[in-house]
A = this chain, B = another copy of it.
Amino acid sequence: MTNNEKLDFILTRSSVRRFSSSLTPEETETLLRAAMSAPTAMDYQPWHFVVVNDNAVKDRLRSFLPYAKMINENCTGIVVCGDISLYEEVSKRDGEDNTLYWVEDCSAASENLLLAAHALGLGAVWTGIFPLESRISKLRETLSLPENIVPLNLILAGHPAASGRVKDKFNKSKIHYEKF
């Protein structure tokens, strides 16, 4: 712990995988407000969020997402997606494919969402979808995603039934100076 409360707040976030109840509509909106405050390349804000509270939809997600098998009636699912159609014009202009900026922007938004859950005393965990085509295609079908909308992850969030384990992952060997 440091002598800076906000820094400690960042450092003490952990992944929560057991929940006692799902998010209220107000909590959901608050988490998404924080997500949408992330910076984005060229201010494109490529994100879309599909909120899942319906148990039949959760059952389907659980059937093909091994790492999200803990999704149940006691938590809310939020699928963070990116709109890749936004990059067509600028990629043409630059002569280079800018499309993958959506992954960066939506990942920054996802981290904000996880931190906002921590701020509210809620719990959340990020489970991976992109870049695995097998998961993307099934999610596309389950959530009726249009061609230009790609799912990045499925975040589970809710009121925590057990606290997560805070990990100290600081590693000086990952820091280089002036060159690698």
Question: Most chain-B CB neighbours within 10 Å: which of A37, A100, A105, A114?
Answer: A37
Given A38-B111, A111-B111, A178-B50: A45 touches B7 (CB 8 Å cut-off): no
User: DSSP class of A's interface residues: helix, strand, loop or mixed?
Assistant: mixed
- Whether B175 contacts A134 by the Cβ 8 Å rule is no
- Whether A48 contacts B146 by the Cβ 8 Å rule is no
- Whether A10 contacts B37 by the Cβ 8 Å rule is yes
Task: Choose from B101, B128, B134 the contact partner of A128 (Cβ within 8 Å).
Answer: B101
Give residues of chain A (98-149) contacting chain B, Cβ–Cβ below 8 Å.
98-101, 103-105, 107-108, 110-112, 114-116, 118-120, 125-126, 128, 130-134, 142-146, 149
A46 to chain B, nearest CB (A): 10
Copies in the complex: 2
How many A residues touch the partner, as a band? 35 or more
A27 to chain B, nearest CB (A): 11
- Whether B50 contacts A179 by the Cβ 8 Å rule is yes
- Whether B33 contacts A120 by the Cβ 8 Å rule is no
A64 within 8 A of B: no
Q: How far is the CA of A152 from the CA of B132 in the complex (A)?
A: 20
Q: Given A45-B174, A48-B174, A48-B176, list of 15 further CB < 8 A pairs?
A: A4-B119, A11-B34, A39-B125, A48-B180, A53-B177, A54-B178, A57-B179, A99-B131, A100-B100, A103-B103, A104-B107, A104-B152, A105-B107, A107-B107, A143-B180
Task: List 9 tightest A-B contacts by C-beta distance, closest first.
Answer: A107-B107, A6-B119, A108-B111, A100-B131, A111-B111, A104-B107, A144-B179, A7-B119, A50-B176
List residues of A whose CB falls within 8 A of some B CB: 2, 4-7, 9-11, 13, 15, 29-30, 32-34, 36-39, 41, 45, 47-54, 57, 81, 94, 96-101, 103-105, 107-108, 110-112, 114-116, 118-120, 125-126, 128, 130-134, 142-146, 149, 152-153, 167-171, 174-180
